[in-house]
Each structure stands twice: as structure tokens, then as C-alpha cells.
Amino acid sequence: MMKALGLEGIVATETALSLVDGERGELVYRGWRAKELASQYTFEEVVYLLWMGHLPNQEEADHFRQKWSQNRFLSFSLCQLLEGLPREMGMMDTLRTAVSSQAQGQGLWPPNKEDALAILAQVPSIIAYRYHFLQNSSLPKVRTDLSHTAYFLYLLYGKEPEPALARALDAYFILTVEHGLNASTFAARVVTSTRSDIYSSLTAAIGAMKGPLHGGAPSEVEGMLDQIGDISQATEWIRHRIIAGDKLMGFGHRIYKTNDPRAQALRNVAKELAGEEKRFRLALEVESIALDLLQELKPGRKIYTNVEYYASVVLSAVGLPTELYTPAFTASRIAGWCAHIFEQAEVDRIIRPQSEYIGPLPK
């Protein structure tokens, strides 16, 4: 039987982008705590920090936002592609196909920030265009005066969102934009290491993000809360799941052995956003019961609430349908992937690990 190695504890590269300290529960972007960035800065400013190495001054921030908003238009050919894909194709498959289709011409190495910004700016438009097409409705007209997250919500719902909702989604995007060498980021860096183009690297990353063990968790949390339904059912439902050995969505993390700092920050955002809303009260109670039962039934396992749990609550509060949870995660993380693509291109060394052969030898 093959060992489930999973590359735990293996250092594959050096990075100046983020520190994920699982023992202390710290997430740091280029020397700044992510939870502080989420409460004090915008998503655009954090992307600038990741790509450029420092937070922007006012002039730099304004110039960056202007270039960003100018890339929101979708070409006629891309719109035709989005309409021509099979209706049963999922949104992550649509995103993967749309990003891949943008690779045109030669001389795409090394990756550049202009191409990256164009892709990043267009992802909300791609999601919204396809969403409206499937709903037989029209995409709202392009606007360049809204932030990335406010524009995303505006495109989906056809009206400018309340500032609190846009700010909540902004905090979610900041807290999920980057997280070390996770599966999708590693996929992007491996492809980049071959000197392939940024479109291929991002296509590989989106393919990894599609997997339910990576990008699908927030929608799984939503399903879990739906199944529990009422707080009176929570203890029995959760106890049965744990005893049966089923995974409890929204709890546990491969890295964090204490509280996930992103979950803590999003919990605060959800509290401000939801107040006494029934769904949020259910989430709070379920979290408390689940942590108590995990401690009782799995003593010493150090299983805590992870970011996907409260990501589900926040995404639900801003009105996103569950099928757009993972695409929304992608609309954030694509900026982090690009930062890693730039860093890997500077290293310019192919990633080529080895495997241990455990099959039969020739007789």
C-alpha cells in the first residue's frame, strides 16, 4: 500500500510573500499581519503590497486602481466563448476555459504585471457575464468608479452594493488572497518553473482550486448548516458525524494547530454584518458545540475552526449563491497566484521532485 505522504514538512521553495505560522496562528503578508490589513486597508492596496513589495502611497494607489478598472471590459470574442460553452458546464470550468483562452501570441515569458492585472480585473466580469447568461438576464454596464469587490457585487445584482457589504467582501478577499504554498499556488509555481506563460500557470491553479478539498469547502459548510437546520439538532448531528469518522466541514487545517487567524477576523466581520440574524446565530452555536465535541471525542487532536467556516457565513450574508463561493474565492486568490508566479519566474529553476518507487522489480 502506498503511503499518503502529501509532502508534509517538505520545504520546496523560499518566499518573501507570506508567513503561515500554524503553531502560533499567524498569517503575515510581507511583514504585515493579514487580519490588520483586512481591517485597515483595501483589497487593491493589499494586492499592490504583494506584487510590488510595499503598501502604496496615495498617488501609487490611485494609479494602480485606475489601471485596474480600465481592464474590466470583456472582448467580443470572450463574450462569444462564454455564451458558447455548454450550459451544464460549472463556473470553475468556465473560468479555467476563459483564462486559458486569453493566451495569444508569442513572447509570453517572463510573466508581466500588465497581463496579470488584466486577468485579475476581468475575473468578476467573466463570472457575472456567465451567471447572467445562464439566468437569461443582461450584464450591467461597465463602471470604473467602484472597488474590485463592490464592482463584483454590482455586476451580479445590477445595483451598487451597500458599503458594509462591499467592505465585508473586501475583508474576505484580503484574508484569502494568499496562503503560502497551498495546492493551487504550488500548481501555479510548478507550471511557471517550466517557463510556461502566466495563462497556463493560472489555468493549472484554477484546476486545483476546483477540487472540493481545496476551494470547495465554504459551500460544503453551507450545506452542513442547511442539514443541521436548527440548533436543537446540532449536538446529535455533529456527534454522529464525528463518531462515523466523517469530515466536519469548516473545522481542522493541515497547517494551523491553533485558531486560524483568518477565521477569527471573518468572525468579527460576520458579527458586524449579521447582528442577530438567525443564520449567524446558528453558525455561532454550531461552532461552539462542534469545538466542544471535537475536544471530547478527539482529545489532543488540536482541531479548530478554519477560514472556510466563517467564509461561508460572510458570503451568504453578502448574497452570493453557493455555486459562486469557489469562483469568488478564485477572484481573490488569483492575485496571490500572480504574486507567486512573479516570484517563481525570478527564481527561474524548474521544480522537479523525486518519487520513491515501491513497485515490483524485474525478475
What amino acid positions are annotated as catalytic residues?
Answer: 253, 308
Say how many residues make up the chain.
Answer: 363
Q: What is the residue whose three cell numbers read 496615495?
A: 58
* Neighbour order of strands in the sheet with 26-29: 18-21, 26-29, 32-33
Helices 325-347 + 183-193 axis angle, to 10: 40
CB 98 within 8 A of CB 81: yes
Q: Which residues on adjacent β-strands are paired with residue 19?
A: 28
Q: Roughly how many angstroms between the first and final C-alpha of the chain, as a whole number?
A: 21
**26 forms bridges with which residues in the sheet?**
21
Cα distances (Å, whole numbers) of residue 161 to 168, 275, 339 = 11, 18, 29
Instruction: For cell 500557470, name the residue.
Output: 201
Count of CB atoms within 10 A of residue 239's CB? Answer: 15
Selection from 306, 327, 304, 300 nearest residue 315 by Cα: 327
Q: Quick one: which of 158, 182, 163 has its CA closest to 318?
A: 163
**Do the Cβ atoms of 29 and 37 come closer than 8 Å?**
yes
Tell the burial category of 268 from Cβ atoms under 10 Å away from its Cβ (0-12, 13-18, 19+): middle
The helix (run of H) or strand (run of E) holding residue 297 is helix 278-297
Cell numbers at 84, concatenated: 458558447
3-class secondary structure, 27: strand
H or E segment at 21?
Answer: strand 18-21
CA dihedral 44, 47, 51, 54 (to 10 degrees): 80
Nearest to 132 by CA among 92, 93, 210, 79: 79
